[in-house]
Amino acid sequence: MYIYNFEDGNKDMRDILGGKGAGLAEMTRLHLPVPKGFTISSDSCLKYLDDNKFFDELKPEIDEKINELELKTHKTFGYGENPLLVSVRSGARVSMPGMMDTILNLGLNSETVNSMIKKTGNSHFVLDSYRRLIEMYSDVVLGLPKGSFGEILNNMKKEKGYTKDSELTDDDLRLLISKYKENYKNLTGYEFSENSKELLYNAVKAVFKSWNTERAKVYRKLNEISDSYGTAVNVQEMVFGNLNDNSATGVCFSRNPVNGKNELFGEYLTNAQGEDIVSGVRTPSPIAKLKEDMPNVYDEFLSYAKELERHYKDMQDMEFTIEDGHLYILQTRNGKRTAKADVKCAVDMVREGIITKEEAILRVDSNRLDEVLHKEFNEDDLKGHEPIAKGLAASPGAAYGKVYFSAEDIKKAHDDGEENLILVRTDTSPEDIVGMKLANGMLTVRGGMTSHAAVVARGMGSCCISGCSDIEIDYDKKLFRVGKNIVHEKDYISLDGSTGNVYVGMIKTEDAKASVELQTFMSWCDDIRKIGVRANCDTKIDAENAVKFGAEGVGLCRTEHMFFTDERIFDLRRMILSPNEEIRKESLKKLEEYQRKDFLDIFSVMKERPVIIRLLDPPLHEFLPKKEEDIKKLAKSLDMSIEDIKKEIDEKKEFNPMMGHRGCRLDVTYPEIGRMQADAIAKAAIDAKKMGINVVSKIMIPLTISKKEYLFVKDIIVNELDKVMKDEGVKFDYKIGTMIETPRAAILANTIAPYADFMSFGTNDLTQLTLGFSRDDSPKFINSYIDNGLIKKDPFKSIDTEGVGKLVDLACRLARLANPSIELGVCGEHGGDRDSIEFFSRIGLNYVSCSPYRLLNARCSLAKAAIKEKMD
């Protein structure tokens, strides 16, 4: 059986009937006024796409269902005095708005047009419907140029001096129909068929085929929808919102999809068909007006909306048609909404007793929760702006500003008192950090979701679009091109980091506020989740945000980020290149003072919450200067020749820096760096203690490969901490642990665990090494992998559970066997990704750590995970 009457299906049959079909079936079951019809299953689509001959098998079943529909409606299809007209609409398992095609008014032909005119007494309506059928069929089913029909219509209107379609007389329409048919014949070589069945078959096939159009494929890829679903086809008796002035058609949400308020939100047009709303030729009325115009119909609709909401336990997005005063519901589905509305709906529905807290949590799209906190475009201002390019939504929030093409230019503009600056670059590097901090938003051509720009931006909570390969920067001319658009320096652009959309011009932004509902919702999540949430914080501001957004500690403090100011990086560079012991010691002393202050800042915000500080991680050469003036300054200060400095810089360069001289390898070769950091941590902890804060400093050794190496570095740190405690006569608690980032450390976690208080999985590096995918280089080929179905998702966005996840799971088991009290967490970018978090919860980590702006997502995702685990 490939076809189901609406009365034979239900809402749980989405996989077979598609979303629309399941909705129509369910509403039929609920005895809502749904025009009768049937759904051709999505299996049929797949079978047809696999082998066209399958249609021969399907055809008799379609005929049978049309017969049944004729009996139920007391109408006849394609002939007779009471003709049956049907619509053919696609409907996949997952909503794909605008992606699939619709054909209306099937069943009209020369004979039935006359019957319909007789029956309705509205010849204009019937003739116009037939005209539309010819045009729509030609366009949608045969792909004939739409313009050629539009031209015929426009020519006629011009000739006659009409401005509106409604001015066309019946004769005009009849002439138009014959001209359309003539055009059809010219384009195809065939007459437009009088056989309605034939048109119906072709319409069904066209819907099937539309599953594989380019735009459908692209939409599915962007939305991670499987190609293997196929689409169902709904064949339904027509009802007419354009029958007369007592008719109308409209769309309506059961609640406000922008702010979530419990009120009908929608619009309608009297005497119109659905496509008239979409086309935007006439301006629809707000739904509230229906209450005045047709109070009974409004009340009836409201009661259906509430019923559907209670039935589906979710806010509904409905389509309806009023035919001569009779209300019909043509579609219902869960309504898309903003993150803000999502939370409010969920919380309200719990209070209204429609859903449970658990259902509310499972419902809310945690990945979008961050949006609630970031700047957003002013809605009114956004209207009328079309994106000129789309990149990766790397760091959420909205921003506008003047374009600059270098961090220095941003700094200069800032110093000149300019505000609202946008940095546009091919990619960014640590040198750009000052400019990045001053920019409202960043747009990069290269780099993925975890590129330097993306990570820094998310950390700072500022907006970033990365990997926007549509744009082409010309640094010399200070402009970028995208298609035909050219954007010069100081031109305004606007970025939406939540969608990846780039706009020309200034779109005003406004602050998002944390609503009461959000607070309530998050507290429910916290009650339900089983594992801890910490934040990645490098600065006091990060720490403050972390506390604000609910972090229970700092899971990762990247000490290298503390050096990215002019003064500090200068001293760091002096230390790295120091030609003698004396200068090295002097520079280390300075760096220690900076760090001591940094740590104290964070401690004073985090109070007794645990703070995991990671020892210096990146290769030292990353800190070395590239600019001539910086090199000069350094040479002067070190009393070295510029040539020698350059030579040193050159010698320190690496072929594969990710696998180079970094992480705890730095402490093995330069133990004085580790000692300096331990010193700073110890002194900051003592400072904090004197302020009455009992800090638990957790020191994390990065990029470990073995027990011996770990113990070697641990000894350096512990000796220094103990020394400071002894010298200062103050004791404080500390823990030492390590980051598991190399496959070697993962498979040998049992050997390291007995000596570690905690382990944190650095899943960024672990992903790089396990797959051999460089984070920065893989964007060049990762799309080929996704397009060819070789991987499902970018493994830097969502953890590769099968490979990297297997290693993490294995390492956890090994570590716990060797040290049952060890604390296990994760602090890679995956700590802020919904699917990854569910995985981490399932394998029983103690906590996840993510950037402060991902905390809401993390807390909610963890709650979801806990609920799902309970259900399993």
Which residue lies nearer to a copy of itself by CB, 299 or 802? 802
Quick count: other Cβ atoms within 10 Å of Cβ 144?
18
Task: Tell me the closest approach of the beta carbon of residue 497 to a copy of itself, in angstroms.
Answer: 23
Which residue lies nearer to a copy of itself by CB, 19 or 674? 674
The rounded radius of gyration (Å) of the Cα atoms in the chain is: 32
Check 45, 252, 452, 860 and give the catalytic one: 452
Which residue lies nearer to a copy of itself by CB, 805 or 825? 805
Asked if 709 is part of the footprint of a copy of itself (rule: CB under 8 A), the reply reads: yes
Q: Is 452 a catalytic residue?
A: yes
Task: Tell me the closest approach of the beta carbon of residue 789 to a copy of itself, in angstroms.
Answer: 7
Check 827, 830, 850, 860 and give the catalytic one: 827
Task: Tell me the closest approach of the beta carbon of residue 393 to a copy of itself, in angstroms.
Answer: 23
Residue that is written with structure tokens 């300096």 in the block: 676
| Size of interface with a copy of itself, in residues (CB under 8 A) | 49
Which residue lies nearer to a copy of itself by CB, 305 or 703? 703
Q: Two tokens at 434? A: 């000052």
Asked if 708 is part of the footprint of a copy of itself (rule: CB under 8 A), the reply reads: yes
Residues 759-818 that bind a copy of itself (CB under 8 A): 765, 768-774, 776-778, 780-781, 784-785, 788-791, 800, 802-804, 806-807
Give CA–CA dist 721/599, Å, rounded.
15
Asked if 479 is part of the footprint of a copy of itself (rule: CB under 8 A), the reply reads: no
Residues 6+ away with beta carbon under 8 Å from 423: 404, 405, 406, 407, 410, 432, 435, 436, 439, 441, 442, 443
Give CA–CA dist 382/634, Å, rounded.
48
Query: By three-state DSSP, how is residue 40 classified?
Result: strand
Q: Two tokens at 455? A: 């990570």
State the helix-helix crossing angle for 123-136 and 110-120, rounded to 10 degrees: 150
Which residue lies nearer to a copy of itself by CB, 513 or 744? 744
Which of 5, 73, 367, 706: binder of a copy of itself (CB under 8 A)? Answer: 706
Which residue lies nearer to a copy of itself by CB, 283 or 788? 788
Torsion, Cα of 703, 705, 706, 712 (10° steps): -40
Asked if 744 is part of the footprint of a copy of itself (rule: CB under 8 A), the reply reads: yes
Asked if 739 is part of the footprint of a copy of itself (rule: CB under 8 A), the reply reads: no
Task: Tell me the closest approach of the beta carbon of residue 825 to a copy of itself, in angstroms.
Answer: 20
Q: For residue 556, which phi and psi values (nearest 5 degrees)?
A: -160, 115
Which residue lies nearer to a copy of itself by CB, 505 or 671? 671
DSSP character string of 269-338? EES--HHHHHHTSSPPEETHHHHHH-HHHHHHHHHHHHHHHHHHTS-EEEEEEEETTEEEEEEEEEPP--
- Cβ 547 vs Cβ 378: under 8 Å: no
Which segments of 76-169 does DSSP mark as H helices, in order? 110-120, 123-136, 146-160
Q: Which amino acid is at 457?
A: A
Q: Two tokens at 720? A: 């220094």
Which residue lies nearer to a copy of itself by CB, 323 or 617? 617
Q: Two tokens at 297? A: 């119909």
Q: Is 537 a catalytic residue?
A: no
The CA distances from residue 676 to 481, 511, 724, in Å, are: 48, 41, 11
The CA distances from residue 401 to 378, 489, 494, 508, 675, in Å, are: 15, 11, 6, 10, 44
Strand arrangement, sheet containing 316-323: 285-286, 265-270, 248-253, 316-323, 326-334
Which of 143, 747, 817, 869: binder of a copy of itself (CB under 8 A)? Answer: 747
Q: Two tokens at 147? A: 């313009």
Size of the chain in residues: 872
Which residue lies nearer to a copy of itself by CB, 545 or 768? 768
Q: Two tokens at 432? A: 């750009």
Between strands 83-84 and 37-40, the pairing is: unpaired
Residues 633-692 that bind a copy of itself (CB under 8 A): 654-661, 663, 665, 668-669
Which of 394, 399, 703, 721: binder of a copy of itself (CB under 8 A)? Answer: 703
Asked if 742 is part of the footprint of a copy of itself (rule: CB under 8 A), the reply reads: yes
Asked if 430 is part of the footprint of a copy of itself (rule: CB under 8 A), the reply reads: no
Which residue lies nearer to a copy of itself by CB, 1 or 790? 790
The continuous run of DSSP H or E covering 90 comes out as strand 86-92
Task: Tell me the closest approach of the beta carbon of residue 747 to a copy of itself, in angstroms.
Answer: 6
Give CA–CA dist 484/503, Å, rounded.
14
Q: Which residues are catalytic?
A: 452, 827
> Residues in the site for a copy of itself, rule: CB under 8 A?
654-661, 663, 665, 668-669, 703, 705-706, 708-709, 712, 741-744, 747-748, 765, 768-774, 776-778, 780-781, 784-785, 788-791, 800, 802-804, 806-807
